[in-house]
Amino acid sequence: MAEVVVFHHVHGLTPGVAAFAQTLRDAGHDVRAPDLFEGRVFPTLDEGLDYVQSVGFAEIIARGVAAAEGVPVGAVYAGFSLGVLPAQYLVQTRQGARGAILMHGCAPVQEFGDRWPPDVPVQIHAMNADRSFVEEGDLEAARDLLAQAGEGELFLYPGREHLFADPTLPSYDEAAAESLQARVLEFLRLVG
């Protein structure tokens, strides 16, 4: 069993993110899925981005850090797109993370310190033609991170959707989402 913290994407803590967290719980893991938007859920990407820009990315990370207070050493931090930021920040700045699951995004390691902790395994999931991931630097950041990680994998699924793993969004891709979920469950089994 693993202790897991799952951070949501720019739409907020949607029923799809909550269902993903519940799937991990059903597999026997202790999962927290904090709401970084204080109850707000946005129907469009633009509305979510407007909200994030109004509070600032630093505030979103700070809310993630606050939400992780009391989480035992040895947790796995996971994030969907925007949620990658607090997840990656916690892995790189807190001692004792057991693993990281970065979905639909990856920040440059230098954003949160000098290096990725070499003893923390990581999974990174995205679509191979997601312009946000491929053309805006996330793919390069992911490859750099994996070069520093002692153990890690990058999974690129066929398609162009960004938030393909949330069944409550129009960008949902069932086959890719099921594959991602199976790989995450196997990762948690191995690190838990």
Output the CA–CA distances (angstroms, integers) from residue 104 to 69, 72, 131, 132, in the order listed.
25, 26, 11, 9
Domain limits of the chain?
A: 3-191
Task: Identify the CATH number of the domain defined by range 3-191.
Answer: 3.40.50.1820
Give the whole-angstrom CA distance, residue 138 versus residue 5: 21
pLDDT in tens, 125-158: 999 999 999 999 999 999 999 999 989 999 999 9
CA pair distance 122, 88, nearest whole angstrom: 10
Is the confidence at residue 68, as pLDDT, over 90?
Answer: yes
- Share the mean pLDDT of the chain: 97
Whether residue 58 has pLDDT greater than 90: yes
Q: Is the pTM of this model over 0.95?
A: yes
